[in-house]
Amino acid sequence: MHFRSLLALVLVAPLPVTAAEQVVVPPKARYWMSATTANGMSMSGGMSQADMMKMAMGGGGANKLLDLDLGSTLAPTGGGPKADALIPPGMNMGASLPLTTPVAKPAQRTPEREDDDFERPKGKLLLFWGCSEKARPGQPVVIDFAAMAAGQVPPNLFAGERIRIARPPSSGNSKTFGEWPYGDKNPRSIPANASLIGNQRVEGNYSPPISFELTQDWLAPLTLSGRGNGAGGQTLAWNAVPAATGYAATMMGGGKSTSGEDSTTMVFWSSSDVQTFISGLTDYLAPAEVQRLIGKKMLMPPSQTQCAIPVEALKAVDGGMVSMVAHGPEINHVSPPRPADPKVPWVQDWVSRTRFRSTAGAMLADGELMTSMGGGGGGGGHAAASGSPAPNANCPPPASANPAEAVGGAIGGSLGSAMGSMFGGKKKKVDPNCPQ
């Protein structure tokens, strides 16, 4: 066939028909359940002060935490917004939990800073990373606070792969929103024998009825311990949590100083093989994202049960916290199911996401791990004795005979000072009449 005839045939030939993409209409409502098992001196959010104190004293075992978030594109009908989470009997918390809609508060004017009370941040940040008994070449990376305050943010401060974190429904991304627990109200503690397994339902006046079954319960507690190693440092060890998808550990604290306030130091270490600072590695992460980050060596695989903190990082820190997370599964439901016929639009009424993690924490003092504050010393405290003058708010707390309180003071003082120096702000002047 002649070339021109062949070209003409190609040009007039009908193109193959491709299947049209299915039209997907986003859901009217999104309902998220976030379940954390918090063990040891965990700093997980959503915990009452009583629970945190109980954990710090090493009593009562692990705590079960739960956050419920309902976001909708609909306005409430028949009055103000109202919704309830109808929970299975195994929760042992009654028939339902109220999903409260936050009340918007008027914006408050930020008071102007007094120039004579502001000082340029001073000190430095020492970054360590990776599971190794000794610091790897190039560590620590030293970040100067004063340079950061002047706008000179080091390009490698937040080095590493970006972490993909899905954000739950909130008042900012929903027309109508409800949550449990709510605000400063003291939430009902979750019983130790509570179980999520069973039918979960949501009924309200700003979302379609939601109903789905859960067969996954809170994860088992993550138990963290430490032992000395040949390099003179600490090797973290933990139990393999069933259903865990990956692990991450961090250490953060105030560094040792020999020249007073002018050399405030903050020390940060992460189990990531990639340099990282404060990141989302300990947040709720979807299993697919966990697998991706394990491939990037930013998270530890579920088969790993120990990790050494470099001895140089331990020697640099004065008092700090070691935190750990076991990432868990994620369960998603959607209604109605996706139509098999791609020509039929998929109009979603609601979607739900239930996510799990298990956390643990311990204090670090003199290079040793303290998983609770229960041992060591009586309950001295900082309250003034009867007949004594009230303590001066500008004075640091006095030294305590309780080693646990001494550790807490070291963390609160050195770490708090370091964070304040790093991000700027007022520097409270110490009263010259404070006891030395």
Q: Give phi and psi for 155, each to the nearest 5.
A: -65, -20
Q: What pLDDT digit, counting tens, does each position of 270-310 carry? A: 999 998 887 789 999 999 999 999 999 999 999 999 999 99
- Containing 403, the helix (H) or strand (E) segment is helix 403-410
SS3 content of the chain, % helix, strand, coil (to 5): 15, 30, 55
Residues 266/417, Cβ–Cβ less than 8 Å: no
- The answer to whether residue 323 scores a pLDDT higher than 80 is yes
User: Does residue 224 sit in helix, strand or coil?
Assistant: strand
* Beta strands 265-270 and 124-129, pairing class: parallel
Q: What digits encode the pLDDT tens for the residues 130-179?
A: 999 999 999 998 888 776 666 666 666 665 668 999 999 999 999 999 99
How would residue 41 be classed by pLDDT, with cut points 50, 70 and 90? Answer: confident
pLDDT digits (tens, 9 = 90+) for 330-372: 999 999 999 999 999 999 999 999 999 999 999 887 767 776 5
Q: What is the 3-state secondary structure (H, E, C) of 155-166?
A: CCCCCCCCCCCC
Q: Between vectors from CA 323 to CA 318 and to CA 328, what angle results, nearest 5°?
A: 170
| DSSP string covering 170-205 | -TTS-SEEEEES-TTS-PPPPPTT----EEEEEEES
Q: Which is nearest to 396 in space by CA: 435, 366, 427?
A: 435
Residue 244 has pLDDT above 50, yes or no: yes
Q: Is-above-0.85 flag for pTM?
A: no
Is the separation of the CB atoms in 6 and 27 below 8 Å?
Answer: no
